[in-house]
């Protein structure tokens, strides 16, 4: 469905959706744990449901009751067919590690967009561990053909393509017989996502630790079942918070001030731009302030790029968003797509290899814009439209379901003028 969004002012309260990153990992670890785990308030979106389906194909059973997901895990088994990961890069990368543990052939695939996402670093690392890990088209991308068992001791892998590769190795290595040394060969980006993986592994009873050159995972460990509640997602909370900083006042509840999510940085970044930010218990409020351009390093919080670029168009002076070159391998080339839609709306913005430069404040104008099927682009476009003159027509709204299913409803509840057709 296309969206029509007009200039709006927001004032109200919404609850942060559950964290997508935590939900993916919790589903996988529960599926590996021997017993029954209960995941409270999971994000049930297209991406996380792909992960749940994949773990069911590996032998886990799941039942949803209200806002809880009960998963019985244990020993994994070969799937009866190929695993379709849909549009979820996280699913593909994490489940590839699980597939490497089996002494049988497992095929993992996804939609056309997912089949353009890089996988070669993980395939190379698994090959080093003795796994037959190949690409069906011999291009380093899905469909992937994996055959274990994973019996190696050392794996070398790049740290600047996707932290999900390292998370995949960490999770699967605990179930191997031998200890595993994961050596990071290039600068490590998005480390908070690895911290989340290791924290959740520890909560499920498995040890791992950082070393001078990477990570160490003892082998022959067992995941234990757990009951846990998924925290609110800072990546998603950034959209209503920026809407509040630009057009009025917005409060987002359900956020843990001490969470290890990299995108928790959004609160500090907004304050640095000049938005009026305040905490009360598990709620953070963003209000309009005098915005000034900033220099922001996004190497550990790349998912904030698009919405911060929108914010920067309304800040006085120059802003530079950088350190996010790995965004070129998301659902779209997110750097190029962000620059394109903001330029179309009148922003003074230039693309860089690892981000963009923005000069503001610049009046934005309503235009017809394309999302390229990218949920973070779609949501950033909607917020940009709220400060633009005229009406902005957004090509689709369905992609928001990947990470923030209630996004449109939440913006409307805050006062956004959004219509659909």
- Active site amino acids: 303
Q: Can you tell me the distance from the alpha carbon of 152 to that of 13, in angstroms, rounded to the nearest whole number?
A: 51
What ranges in 248-368 are assigned the alpha helix state H? 265-273, 305-312, 334-344
Measured between alpha carbons, how far is residue 354 from residues 293, 302, 305, 312, 351 in Å?
18, 10, 10, 16, 8
> Strand, coil or helix: what is 229?
strand
Q: Can you tell me the distance from the alpha carbon of 329 to that of 162, in angstroms, rounded to the nearest whole number?
A: 9
Q: Can you tell me the distance from the alpha carbon of 405 to that of 279, in angstroms, rounded to the nearest whole number?
A: 25
Q: Can you tell me the distance from the alpha carbon of 128 to that of 133, in angstroms, rounded to the nearest whole number?
A: 10
C-alpha torsion sign, points 328, 47, 68, 175: negative
Show the beta-strand stretches assigned E in 100-240: 105-109, 132-135, 144-147, 154-157, 180-184, 209-210, 214-217, 227-229
Pairing type for strands 11-15 and 249-253 reads parallel
Are the C-beta atoms of residues 241 and 284 closer than 8 Å to each other?
Answer: yes
Strand order in the sheet with 348-352: 295-297, 317-322, 355-360, 348-352
Q: Can you tell me the distance from the alpha carbon of 228 to that of 355, in angstroms, rounded to the nearest whole number?
A: 36
Supply 202's token pair: 């520890």
Show the beta-strand stretches assigned E in 41-102: 61-65, 68-73, 83-84
Are the C-beta atoms of residues 183 and 216 closer than 8 Å to each other?
Answer: no
Are the C-beta atoms of residues 268 and 298 closer than 8 Å to each other?
Answer: no
Strand order in the sheet with 214-217: 154-157, 180-184, 214-217, 209-210
Are the C-beta atoms of residues 265 and 303 closer than 8 Å to each other?
Answer: no
Please state, as a whole number, how many other Cβ atoms lie within 10 Å of the Cβ of residue 118.
19
């Amino acid at each position: 469905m296309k969206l029509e969004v007009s200039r709006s002012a927001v004032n109200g309260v919404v609850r942060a959706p559950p964290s997508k990153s935590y939900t993916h990992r919790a589903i996988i670890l529960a599926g590996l744990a021997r017993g029954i785990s209960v995941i409270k308030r999971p994000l049930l979106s297209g991406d996380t449901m792909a992960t749940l389906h994949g773990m069911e194909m590996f032998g886990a059973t799941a039942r949803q009751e209200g806002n809880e997901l009960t998963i019985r895990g244990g020993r994994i088994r070969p799937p009866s067919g190929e695993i379709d990961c849909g549009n979820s890069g996280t699913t593909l990368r994490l489940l590839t590690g699980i597939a490497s543990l089996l002494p049988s052939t497992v095929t993992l695939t996804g939609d056309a967009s997912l089949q353009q996402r890089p996988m070669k670093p993980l395939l190379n690392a698994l090959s080093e561990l003795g796994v037959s890990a190949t690409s069906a088209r011999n291009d380093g991308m899905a469909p992937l053909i994996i055959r274990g068992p994973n019996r190696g001791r050392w794996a070398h892998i790049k740290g600047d393509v996707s932290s999900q590769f390292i998370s995949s190795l960490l999770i699967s290595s605990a179930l191997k017989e031998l200890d595993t040394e994961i050596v990071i060969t290039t600068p490590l980006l998005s480390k908070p996502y690895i911290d989340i993986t290791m924290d959740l592994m520890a909560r499920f009873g498995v040890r791992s630790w950082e070393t001078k050159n990477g990570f160490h995972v003892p082998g022959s460990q067992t995941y234990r079942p757990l009951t846990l509640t998924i925290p609110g997602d800072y990546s998603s909370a950034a959209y209503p918070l920026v809407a509040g900083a630009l057009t009025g006042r917005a409060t987002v509840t359900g956020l843990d001030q001490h969470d290890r999510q990299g995108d928790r940085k959004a609160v500090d970044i907004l304050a640095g731009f000049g938005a009026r930010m305040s905490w009360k218990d598990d709620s953070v409020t963003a209000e309009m302030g005098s915005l000034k351009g900033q220099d922001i390093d996004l190497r550990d919080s790349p998912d904030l790029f698009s919405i911060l670029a929108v914010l920067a168009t309304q800040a006085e002076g120059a802003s530079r968003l950088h350190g996010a070159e790995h965004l070129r391998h998301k659902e779209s080339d997110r750097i190029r797509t962000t620059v394109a839609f903001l330029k179309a709306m009148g922003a003074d913005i230039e693309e860089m290899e690892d981000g963009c430069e923005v000069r503001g404040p610049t009046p934005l104008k309503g235009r017809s814009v394309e999302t390229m099927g990218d949920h973070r682009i779609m949501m950033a476009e909607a917020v940009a439209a709220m400060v633009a003159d005229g009406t902005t027509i957004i090509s689709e709204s369905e992609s928001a379901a990947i990470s923030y299913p209630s996004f449109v409803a939440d913006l409307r509840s805050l006062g956004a003028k959004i219509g659909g057709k």
